[in-house]
Amino acid sequence: MLLLLIASSLCAQSILSISPSGDRPAPAAPCPECSALAALDGFGLDPLLSIRFSAPVNADLWRERIFIEWGASRQTDAFPTYPAGYRMPVGRLAWDPVNNTLYARPDDPLDHDRDYRIVVTEGAREIASARFHTANITRPLLERRLGPAGSLRRDLDNPIDLASVRALRARTQIAADPAAPLVDVPFPAEAGFLTQLGLRRLVFLTYESPRGERIGVHAWLPNSPKPAAGWPVKLIGHGLGDSRLLGPTLFSSGFIGESVVMAIDAVGHGQGPNSRIRFEFTDGAATEVPLYGRGRDLNGDGLIDPAEGCIVIAPGNIDFLNTCLRETALDYAKLVREIQQNIDLDGDRIPDLNPNSIQYLGQSLGAMYGTLLTAIEPSIDAAVLNVGGGSAGEIARTSTSLSSIFSGYVAAFYPSLVGVTDPRPARFAPAVTITPSQAQLLEVFDRLATLEAPAAPASFAPLLKQGTLYGSPIKRVLFQLALGDQTVPNNANTQLIRAAHEFELVSLYRHDLARRAVPALPENPHAYLAGFGQFDPPNLLIALATLQQANLFLLSPTREVPDVNGLVRVLFRANLFETPERLPE
């Protein structure tokens, strides 16, 4: 890591040092991230910059004097987003008057594996600079081998027809002990309701992951005649703590149109590996199908929680969501290879899937690993990413439901910072004044963000459109978000959208307007795609409109946001879906 010392006589307040914050001396307190940072080949793509002066300055006056100059690109995987020599302004300023240090970040994410200079000017003169390099983000994923295709196998000879099902329920492995009895969990909807949604034929399969494990996958088959080229495929990604057969994945399957809908459990989800689903038929017969749950007991309490094995925070292992996002994206990429092998799903020995029509819809966590998947998989031409965030760190900093993850980390490793208010400078707002403890908290955030960068959705979002991988087309991606989301806050949503350089294909659901008309709606709109898990008309109407918008976008070849306000206007007396002129923060 570089540290450039400068004593400038050209300005009244001499610049003593200028660098990405990772170049500063290690903090006096223990730094659990520092050993892992030393193994990286560069900085993250949204680095915290620090500029130390010899005397107090007006921070806002320096906003126009500091730039990041883009240099040579060393990576050979993707197109650059900006040419060499481009000067990007900085923002999100914070001033520490005790140490005369100004903190800032680039206005937009940087390219990976590229040289940069932090440049400070006074008038037309350059008075200070420091060089740094960003890490290569794509190489760890692109160099992974998916393994040979052809491992997809049906668990049952024939599809299950829900019209002949009297009842269904999950038999879940919650205990880590494989000999412990399974726990019966009611399915979120009865078979009759599912058939009303259009869900009829269900196929269970397994395939081999890039790591050699068997992964369970299911497919809902359309009731429509099969096209000559085979049915199109829609891959569905579920959210944190959910599973492939529940929540948004289930409801999405009922509204995707004339496509085969396929899904897997994300890493660490689906409870234990012995979990099963039981079908009881109208003729009195019954069958159980293994679900190959991917949850693991990592904390040693003898239980397998719904997302245990996805979020990893352990001594010496600051993984957070990194492995979960990377490996799930690779598992879906391997499934794409399986789909392209002329698969027979219903047992009639005739290929059922169109290998040239594979698209993706992901909700929350599913939108996050879906960003990685869509960015690196050339065969996926379009995607809908619903309430996804740019990074786990940005979500954890401000989420009302997930903030305990980060606060627990701070309490465990930085007890002196417990209770310190996160300054979180806003975009385009005046500089904020911070304490030394807040400055230290900013640097902790930055170190964690750097470690997260190789798996952060925001790191891969530029590959969707602005700087695609060589040989990969520009992807049509619709970003759906809900105003006032309390689980994945809007600042995390917009971090992803800004990184994708996509401001036109954005659908903002106005939950404030919906609650004005129907005050009984939940306060948190995060799950609006899934009807909030309820079956009352207002919630289902919102979910129907959201899924209809997703489906119309995927069906259309154009880069337009479908207008579905006609579905909700009569009940809510307002347009609930809009393309915002300015992204909410």
CATH of residue 118's domain is 2.60.40.1220
Q: Is the pLDDT of residue 466 over 60?
A: yes
- For residue 237, the surrounding DSSP H or E stretch is strand 231-237
Q: Which two tokens stand for residue 8?
A: 């400038």
Is 9 contained in some domain? yes
The string of DSSP codes covering 253-295 is: HTTS-SSEEEEEPPTT-SSSTT-EEEEEETTS-EEEEE-----
Residues 6+ apart with CB under 8 A from 223: 198, 200, 201
pLDDT at 28: 45
Same domain (yes/no): 294, 227: yes
Same domain (yes/no): 385, 529: yes
Q: Is the pLDDT of residue 25 over 50?
A: no
pLDDT tens-digit readout, 364-418: 999 999 999 999 999 999 999 999 999 998 998 889 888 888 888 888 889 999 9
The number of folded domains in the chain is 3
451/126 Cα distance (integer angstroms): 32
pLDDT at 164: 95
Is 361 contained in some domain? no
pLDDT at 12: 45
Q: Are 496 and 479 in contact (CB under 8 A)?
A: yes
pLDDT band for 316, please (50, 70, 90 cuts). low
Question: Rounded mean pLDDT of the chain?
Answer: 90
At CB < 8 A and 24+ separation, what contacts does 429-432 make?
A: 430/60, 430/93, 431/59, 431/60, 431/63, 431/93, 431/94, 431/95, 431/102, 432/93, 432/94, 432/95
Q: Which two tokens stand for residue 285?
A: 């017969």
Q: Is the pLDDT of residue 5 over 60?
A: no
pLDDT at 424: 82
Same domain (yes/no): 201, 276: yes
Residues 6+ apart with CB under 8 A from 415: none
Q: Which two tokens stand for residue 357?
A: 């029509």
Same domain (yes/no): 445, 513: no
pLDDT at 30: 64
* Least trusted range by pLDDT, from 113-117, 222-226, 278-282, 498-502: 222-226
Q: What is the CA radius of gyration of the chain?
A: 25
Is 484 contained in some domain? yes
Q: Are 398 and 489 in contact (CB under 8 A)?
A: yes
Same domain (yes/no): 124, 186: no
Q: Any idea which residue has 């809009």 for tokens?
A: 578
Q: In angstroms, what CA-CA distances link 151 with 156, 216, 293, 570?
A: 15, 12, 18, 49
pLDDT tens-digit readout, 325-375: 999 999 999 999 999 998 999 888 889 999 999 999 999 999 999 999 999
Q: Are 19 and 4 in contact (CB under 8 A)?
A: yes
Q: Are 75 and 136 in contact (CB under 8 A)?
A: yes
The alpha carbon of residue 168 and the mean position of all alpha carbons in its chain are separated, in whole angstroms, by: 31
| Helix axes of 436-452 and 403-413: crossing angle, nearest 10 degrees | 110
The alpha carbon of residue 24 and the mean position of all alpha carbons in its chain are separated, in whole angstroms, by: 30
Q: Are 472 and 378 in contact (CB under 8 A)?
A: yes
Mean pLDDT of 215-234: 92
Same domain (yes/no): 432, 553: no
Q: Is the pLDDT of residue 315 over 70?
A: no
pLDDT at 14: 66
449/443 Cα distance (integer angstroms): 10
Neighbours of 344 (CB within 10 A): 14
pLDDT at 418: 93
Is 369 contained in some domain? no
pLDDT at 320: 85
329/368 Cα distance (integer angstroms): 9
Same domain (yes/no): 470, 519: yes
Q: Is the pLDDT of residue 121 over 80?
A: yes
As a whole-number percent, the residues of the chain with pLDDT over 70 amount to 94
Q: Is the pLDDT of residue 26 over 60?
A: no
Same domain (yes/no): 127, 227: no
Same domain (yes/no): 208, 324: yes
Q: Which two tokens stand for residue 499?
A: 């990184």
pLDDT tens-digit readout, 492-542: 999 999 999 999 999 999 999 999 999 999 999 999 998 755 668 899 899
Same domain (yes/no): 165, 103: no
255/530 Cα distance (integer angstroms): 11
Parallel/antiparallel/unpaired status of strands 214-221 and 201-208: antiparallel
469/488 Cα distance (integer angstroms): 28
pLDDT tens-digit readout, 162-209: 999 999 999 999 999 999 999 998 887 888 888 887 888 999 999 999
Mean pLDDT of 6-15: 46
Q: Which two tokens stand for residue 210?
A: 């890039």
- For residue 339, the surrounding DSSP H or E stretch is helix 322-339
pLDDT at 188: 79
Q: Are 488 and 516 in contact (CB under 8 A)?
A: no
* Least trusted range by pLDDT, from 396-400, 418-422, 453-457: 396-400
Q: Which two tokens stand for residue 146?
A: 């998916």
Is 358 contained in some domain? no
Domain that holds residue 220: 142-352
Strand partners of residue 287: 279
Q: Any idea which residue has 């489906």 for tokens?
A: 551
284/438 Cα distance (integer angstroms): 65
Q: Is the pLDDT of residue 472 over 60?
A: yes
Mean pLDDT of 48-71: 92
Q: Is 179 or 25 the better-scoring residue by pLDDT?
A: 179
pLDDT at 13: 57
Indicate the residue among 404, 429, 451 that finishes a domain.
451
Is 40 contained in some domain? yes
Is 473 contained in some domain? yes
pLDDT at 151: 95
Same domain (yes/no): 173, 319: yes
Q: Is 566 or 256 the better-scoring residue by pLDDT?
A: 566
pLDDT at 16: 67
Same domain (yes/no): 505, 431: no
pLDDT at 138: 86
Neighbours of 567 (CB within 10 A): 18
Is 50 contained in some domain? yes
Degrees, nearest 5: CA angle 410-414-417: 80
pLDDT at 407: 85
